Structure 1
Amino acid sequence: MGRRTRTPNAALAALMREADWGNDQLARAVRRTGAEAGLRLTYDKTTVSHWLAGSRPRAEVAGVVREAFARRLGRPVAAEETGLGDHEATDPVSGLVALGRADMDPSRRSVLAAGLYSAALAVPGFGEAAERIDRAAAGRTVRIGDGEVATVRTMTDRLAGILDELGAAHARPMMASFLVNSVGPWLQAAGSDRSKGDMLAAAADLTYLAGWSAVYELAQGLGQSYYVQALRLADQAGDHVTYCRTLRGMSLQASSLGHGPRALEYADSAAQAAPAAGPRLTAFLRGQQAHGAAMVKDRRQAFARLAETEAALAKADGRNDAVGGYDLAAYQFHLAHVLYELGDLPGSIAALQTSNRVRPRAERQGRVHGLGLLARRQMEHGHVEAAAATWSSFLDDYAGISSVRGDEHFGALRSGLRPHLGNRTVAHLDQRAREVARLKAA
């Protein structure tokens, strides 16, 4: 038989012309972008020549190529534009189950955690679902109703509590398992349009929480993937609230990664998607808009949004729900970020102190993050004794929680103390930190 001939990749060639890239430049960009996802790629211009001639890399590399082009061009790049066969599931239920199943597998969890965050993601808009509720399941023997929806809502509340008290490393595997083994089948079961819509909305809430959990573990690409699935489920359910809360979560993620314009864009889109939001949700959204505005150095807008946040929070009732709740601690945390971005380090420290003081005791994971951030800013300001006291409180909670973000702060503690070991208080804290590290490693 003759050798199979490959079809030259005209799509990739066109994309390279748009990016003004030669083979070597594309190879370098792919190596650099892949490194963020934990991929050690050795591609060179010869590899790109093979792609142009019709060969294809493995799927995870094709995704890296897309992201490299997206960053170069400043716009989302669809899979078909590269001609490399990188396709994602568009059905939200299938996509969610596939993602959750991968997240359940301990052998794949480290790979998922290293997944690439896309700074130029094409976010599915609200109202894009071809049909709000899938009726294809009609006639199946499994049927859902109010009881199954209530189960998902209850589990979401319970898992949010575990996330707060014990950390994302414990909570997220349980979320993934429940999504795959219970929520996935229920999403494909028969039921009334109302029940199916309610189930989609409940699943969107839990998927959003899984994304939040992944981001807390610094698994940025995985968190973004969960967020996108949550947007798709919320869209199918016609659930404006969960859709805008998820966009707000994506804004927070972008801000934590230093993507200021993107953070503001997501925050503004979230606010626009919730025109009839109640006061607590309004505060939740306006606070993130303030942070995004501060990141792009729009001082006037940042403080105007903070004023709106404070006014809305003052009107909120006593209920602060598990998914997307907002309270005085969250407001002060946003204030701290705004002040820090605008160059007011002392003001930021004061706001963090207030946030930590009023945070509910049950929110241990949030407290670990808030104390770690406060101590680092106190060290940055040169207040070593104050930072040592904060680090001591941090260790009280960190010792009993499993959190990658907490681990990151702990690493900053260990390195930040070294120049000050001549200080007796610092030396004592360093010894305690060594003991905590030993117990964590045991």
Structure 2
Amino acid sequence: MAHRTRTPNEGLGRLLEQAKWSRSQFALIINRMGADAGMDLRYDQSAVSHWVRGTLPNPPVRRLIIEAFSRKLHRTVTHAEAGLPPAARDQAAPGIDTVEEIVDLGRADMDPSRRGVMAAGLFSAALSVPLFSGTARAADAPPGEPGRTTRIGAGQVESVRAMTDRIADILDELGGAHARPMAAAFLVNTVVPWLRAEATEKVRKAMWSAASDLVYLTGWMAMYERDHGTAQTYYLKALKLADRAEDHVTYCRTLRGMSLQASNLGYGPLALRLADSAAEAAPKAGPRLQAFLTGQQAHAASMVGDHRRARSLLAATESALMRADNRRESIGGYDQSAYAFHISHVLYEGKDLPGSITALQHALRVQPANERQGRVHFNAVLAQRQLEHGHLDAACASWGRFLDDYEHVSSARGDEHFATMRRRLSPHRKARSVRQLSPRVGAVALLKA
């Protein structure tokens, strides 16, 4: 039986205006769609008025409402946009929650000005991570996009993977603030309709896998934009997509990303649990992926004080890298620079500050030239540790190199490093090296204002 909510449904009212439907017309459309689905519905204008005022239609009717607007507006309309809670999981189409939530996340991400009002919630240190089941079937995927007869093939899958690579390149060169809205727009406008298009079982699984990679990358960017609740939500959606695709590799890469997020926030035990789960989820990982996973395990182990295990995992990481080829991967890539950065983390957690600094300097020497965003982070961390070690002049030199790249990168993580630099240099403002750096700092501050 229908029941009332406390507030009018403004979302449904907006959709009626966008569709240019009267309430009587909408009632007739829902009745007709219900008949096509074997439902005997006899709604009229007054029923629609009740919905707009806040009455909730029964769960099967909610899905008809979503489909009606999706057909009319030629885009994916979600339950949240229509102001309607989705049907209970056992009544909804399989996978519908994952896809709809990706659409809602992506639409907010497409407009950076809306991110402050996103209802993604805070980072949870006690979340339940879905297990990899590997039992999904293509037939379980959501039905085709309402009103569409689109059929996709291998070409569309390759388009998603190619676009993911391009976005990763933009991320490296210009920062997440530029790349993340692009990823979100591509997800919402292109990938979601393809997820719901007709396809063979092989192509459908490949599309779910490619989409999982892109969702993971978008979460990675949200993480480095300090939007941790949104990042965690993206990661959970990537896990579900990877599971549906039976893609063990993307699943474990995503768990590893979640471990890195936890370690960045200081949750050592959670970081280790996620890193161990990632390694366990990829028993047949190639050597580069193995290094990618064990390097993060080493970092997390050092955070909880298990330095013996951390050193053992670093040795396994080095061995795996020696067996890896030179192929660059936009997602899940791991190289000598990343390995040296993990060494630095482990040494720092073990109170070996000089060794940590030396490892960071090596990481910068071997870092690929096109990874500007990576240099921003590496140089900023190096400068902070050099200052902690009492080497002010060296820290200022590292912060100077940080500024070389930071002025070209739009990134919340870079902004945070810039603020940290100004705060930590303030007590030393009379020192010669700080006075020499100050005009540059002021110029960049004006540029970023």
TM-score, length-normalised on structure 2?
0.77
Alpha-carbon shift at residue 102 of structure 1 (Å): 2.2
Distance 1:324 1:408 in 2: 25
Unaligned stretches of 5+ residues in structure 1: 7-84
Residue 145 to residue 210, structure 1, CA distance change in 2 (3 Å): same
Q: Is the 8 A contact 2:256 2:278 kept in 1?
A: yes
Aligned: 1:281 with 2:286: no
Number of residues of Structure 1 aligned to a counterpart in Structure 2: 359
The one-character-per-residue Cα deviations of 1:59-85 (angstroms, maximum 9, x if unpaired) are xxxxxxxxxxxxxxxxxxxxxxxxxx9
Counterpart for residue 99 of structure 1: 105
Aligned: 1:154 with 2:162: yes
Unaligned stretches of 5+ residues in structure 2: 7-84, 90-94
Give the AA of the match of 2:440.
R
SS at the partner of 1:320? coil
SS at the partner of 2:127? coil
Aligned: 1:134 with 2:105: no
Counterpart for residue 222 of structure 1: 230
Alpha-carbon shift at residue 347 of structure 1 (Å): 0.8
The one-character-per-residue Cα deviations of 1:236-291 (angstroms, maximum 9, x if unpaired) are 00000000000000000000000000000000000000000000000000000001
Residues 97-246 of structure 1 correspond to what in structure 2 (within 5 A)?
97-112=103-118, 115-127=121-133, 131=137, 133-137=139-143, 141-246=149-254
Q: Is the 8 A contact 2:135 2:246 kept in 1?
A: no
Distance 1:374 1:136 in 2: 48
Give the AA of the match of 2:399.
W
Alpha-carbon shift at residue 130 of structure 1 (Å): 5.5
Alpha-carbon shift at residue 108 of structure 1 (Å): 2.1
Counterpart for residue 351 of structure 2: 343
Q: Is the 8 A contact 2:136 2:243 kept in 1?
A: no
SS at the partner of 2:242? helix
Distance 2:119 2:438 in 1: 30
Residues 14-33 of structure 1 correspond to what in structure 2 (within 5 A)?
none
The one-character-per-residue Cα deviations of 1:128-175 (angstroms, maximum 9, x if unpaired) are 765455355369510110111011000000000000000000000000
SS at the partner of 2:430? coil
Q: Is the 8 A contact 1:156 1:205 kept in 2?
A: yes
Residue 169 to residue 135, structure 1, CA distance change in 2 (3 Å): closer
TM-score, length-normalised on structure 1?
0.78
Alpha-carbon shift at residue 114 of structure 1 (Å): 8.1
4+ runs deviating over 3 angstroms: 85-90, 112-115, 128-140
Give the AA of the match of 2:308.
R
Counterpart for residue 400 of structure 1: 408
- Between 112-121 and 419-428, report the one with greater CA deviation: 112-121
Distance 1:138 1:116 in 2: 33
Alpha-carbon shift at residue 430 of structure 1 (Å): 1.5
SS at the partner of 1:373? helix
Q: Cα RMSD between the aligned structures?
A: 2.1
Distance 1:111 1:313 in 2: 43
From 415, 419, 422, give the equivalent of 1:411: 419
Alpha-carbon shift at residue 111 of structure 1 (Å): 2.8
Aligned: 1:383 with 2:391: yes
From 327, 332, 344, give the equivalent of 1:324: 332
Distance 1:205 1:398 in 2: 27
Distance 1:416 1:402 in 2: 22
Alpha-carbon shift at residue 352 of structure 1 (Å): 0.7
Counterpart for residue 69 of structure 1: none
Distance 2:107 2:142 in 1: 23
From 421, 433, 439, give the equivalent of 2:429: 421
- Between 105-114 and 192-201, report the one with greater CA deviation: 105-114
Q: Is the 8 A contact 1:132 1:238 kept in 2?
A: no
SS at the partner of 1:91? helix
Distance 2:290 2:371 in 1: 22
The one-character-per-residue Cα deviations of 1:9-67 (angstroms, maximum 9, x if unpaired) are xxxxxxxxxxxxxxxxxxxxxxxxxxxxxxxxxxxxxxxxxxxxxxxxxxxxxxxxxxx
Alpha-carbon shift at residue 115 of structure 1 (Å): 3.7
Distance 2:382 2:233 in 1: 30
Alpha-carbon shift at residue 97 of structure 1 (Å): 1.5
